[in-house]
């Protein structure tokens, strides 16, 4: 069965499975809509997509294999990904009652604040963004996503006039600021521990980016459906699983795109994260050659998750482009979507985005070659940006380096 509820697009991965007369139904945790697992039909009149599945023994090797029939609509369906399930990275068990939660070890803060605990998803997002300790940030992320998926958080909160405002830059504990890694140095060093540290820093910022797009742009775009919030809470949860106890260039790009939903999706999710799809395979191979199978296993899971993150970025970039283009009365097609994306890159990126590109995984995420071939940004300094640099005693060259310039290539 499709994992989203057709009522409002809510997440169905934590649906209750119940026996009902002569069938079995999945019950959405949000509004208790029930769907027959075989037919997808609900007594409410709604229907979700179901796909016949069977387990058959392959005569070639005698191994039992799972077969799924393609959807009835459309043609030329194909399997683009088979992903193993790792119990190590599975969702955490349902959290205990709030009253029984122990205080956090390193910060003496409980996962759920004892005073004025968040009630909406937006409030949780802002709380997590304002949580400086990365371990507590991860714990709160897992708690909030679990509560959202199981219907314990009943309101998104993006339509409230009093929705909290996210911070310009998430807070960080001083010890973690001191341990930031310069990505340029990582590329030159062969030390695997240094590389893993850099990856951990990247994932810490990635958790915040997922919550920031929810908190910042949810109230700006009140017509965003629950499916958007499901996609990005999943992304936050994924990044919390990836975090292992980025440099801030990721947040430099987030700051540059803080006032435009379309720009944020283009730069963070269709450039930064898409570049991860290109770089990850070579990084994984480096650890494999070093005999570090444990890290290889973890990074393969991370890479598979990143494909879904770029997919979500593409889906909602198309959504906002179609919405804006329809208002202007223009045509809406793939060519117009690609043009809009390239315009965003031209405005908010500096320099060429070089290959080689992971065309196979980019295609899985919805990015055809038209999105990334011969792609170049032309972002230049604004006068006020230069004045800010002078006030901080930074040279033009230093500020240039801090902007979203990442000519990422494979090492020769």
Residue found under tokens 């958080």: 153
Residue 203 pLDDT > 50: yes
Instruction: Give the per-residue pLDDT at 381.
Output: 52
Nearest to 235 by CA among 213, 263, 214, 210: 210
Q: Is 160 found in the same domain as 68?
A: no
Instruction: Give the per-residue pLDDT at 5.
Output: 87
- Answer whether 251's CB lies under 8 Å from 205's CB: yes
Q: Is 184 found in the same domain as 66?
A: no
Residue 91 pLDDT > 70: no
C-alpha to C-alpha distances, 293 to 84, 153, 403, nearest whole angstrom:
16, 39, 35
Q: Is 191 found in the same domain as 46?
A: no
Q: Is 17 found in the same domain as 110?
A: no
Residue 32 pLDDT > 90: no
Q: Is 110 found in the same domain as 75?
A: no
The CATH number of residue 13's host domain is 2.102.10.10
Q: What is the distance between the alpha carbons of residues 381 and 397, in angstroms, rounded to a whole number? A: 11
Q: Is 309 found in the same domain as 284?
A: yes
Q: Which of 87-101, 105-119, 194-208 has the highest mean pLDDT?
A: 105-119
Confirm whether 412 is domain-assigned. no
Q: Is 103 found in the same domain as 73?
A: no
Q: What is the distance between the alpha carbons of residues 256 and 399, in angstroms, rounded to a whole number? A: 13
Confirm whether 409 is domain-assigned. no
Q: What percent of the chain has pLDDT over 90?
A: 39
**Where residue 166 falls among pLDDT bands split at 50, 70, 90?**
very high
Instruction: Give the per-residue pLDDT at 24.
Output: 92
193 vs 225, which has greater pLDDT? 225
pTM: 0.75
pLDDT digits (tens, 9 = 90+) for 321-337: 999 998 888 778 889 99
Q: Is 92 found in the same domain as 65?
A: no
Q: What percent of the chain has pLDDT over 70?
A: 76
Tell me the residue range of the domain where 68 lies: 1-79
**Where residue 76 falls among pLDDT bands split at 50, 70, 90?**
confident
Confirm whether 212 is domain-assigned. yes
Q: Is 17 found in the same domain as 121?
A: no
Instruction: Give the per-residue pLDDT at 386.
Output: 40
93, burial (CB in 10 Å: exposed 0-12, middle 13-18, buried 19+)? exposed
Q: Is 121 found in the same domain as 60?
A: no
**Where residue 187 falls among pLDDT bands split at 50, 70, 90?**
very low
Residue found under tokens 């106890």: 245
- Mean pLDDT computed over every residue of the chain: 80
Q: Is 287 found in the same domain as 165?
A: yes
- Where a domain ends, among 46, 79, 112? 79
The structural domain count of the chain equals 2
Residue found under tokens 């994306």: 341
Nearest to 27 by CA among 65, 52, 55, 1: 1
Instruction: Give the per-residue pLDDT at 31.
Output: 84
Confirm whether 410 is domain-assigned. no
Q: Go through 311-349 and write b for each residue having 16 or more CB atoms within 10 A of its CB, e for each that does not.
A: bbbbbbbbbbbeeebeeeeeeeeeeebbebbbebbebbb
- Where a domain ends, among 79, 100, 127? 79
Instruction: Give the per-residue pLDDT at 304.
Output: 87
- Where a domain ends, among 79, 110, 142? 79
Mean pLDDT, residues 239-250 = 60
């Amino acid at each position: 069965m499709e994992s989203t509820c057709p009522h409002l697009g809510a997440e169905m991965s934590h649906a209750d499975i119940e026996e009902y007369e002569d069938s079995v139904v999945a019950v959405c945790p949000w509004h208790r809509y029930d769907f027959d697992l075989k037919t997808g039909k609900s007594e409410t009149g709604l229907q979700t997509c179901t796909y016949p599945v069977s387990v058959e023994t392959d005569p070639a090797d005698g191994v039992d294999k799972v077969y799924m029939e393609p959807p009835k609509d459309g043609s030329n369906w194909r399997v683009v990904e088979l992903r193993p399930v790792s119990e190590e990275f599975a969702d955490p068990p349902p959290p205990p009652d709030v009253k029984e939660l122990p205080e956090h070890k390193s910060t003496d803060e409980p996962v759920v604040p004892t005073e004025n605990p968040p009630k909406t998803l937006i409030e949780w997002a802002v709380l997590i963004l304002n949580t400086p300790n990365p371990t507590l940030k991860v714990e709160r992320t897992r708690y909030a996503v679990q509560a959202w998926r199981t219907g314990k958080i009943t309101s998104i909160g993006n339509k409230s006039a009093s929705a909290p405002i996210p911070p310009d830059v998430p807070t960080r504990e001083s010890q973690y600021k001191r341990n930031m890694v310069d990505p340029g140095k990582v590329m030159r060093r062969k030390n695997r521990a240094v590389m893993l540290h850099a990856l951990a820093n990247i994932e810490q910022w990635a958790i915040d980016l997922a919550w920031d797009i929810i908190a910042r742009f949810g109230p700006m775009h009140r017509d965003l459906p629950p499916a958007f919030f499901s996609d990005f809470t999943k992304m936050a949860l994924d990044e919390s699983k990836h975090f292992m106890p980025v440099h801030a260039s990721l947040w430099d790009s987030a700051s540059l795109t803080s006032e435009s939903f379309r720009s944020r999706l283009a730069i963070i999710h269709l450039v930064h994260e898409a570049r991860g799809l290109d770089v990850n395979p070579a990084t994984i191979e480096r650890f494999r050659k070093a005999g570090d199978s444990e890290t290889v296993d973890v990074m393969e899971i991370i890479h598979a998750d990143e494909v879904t993150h770029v997919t979500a970025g593409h889906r909602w970039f198309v959504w906002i482009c179609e919405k804006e283009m329809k208002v202007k009365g223009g045509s809406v097609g793939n060519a117009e979507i690609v043009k809009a994306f390239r315009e965003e890159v031209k405005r908010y990126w500096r320099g060429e985005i070089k290959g080689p590109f992971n065309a196979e995984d980019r295609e899985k995420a919805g990015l055809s070659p038209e999105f990334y071939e011969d792609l170049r940004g032309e972002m230049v300094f604004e006068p006020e940006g230069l004045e800010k640099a002078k006030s901080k005693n930074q040279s033009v060259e230093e500020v240039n380096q801090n902007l979203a310039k990442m000519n990422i290539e494979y090492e020769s």
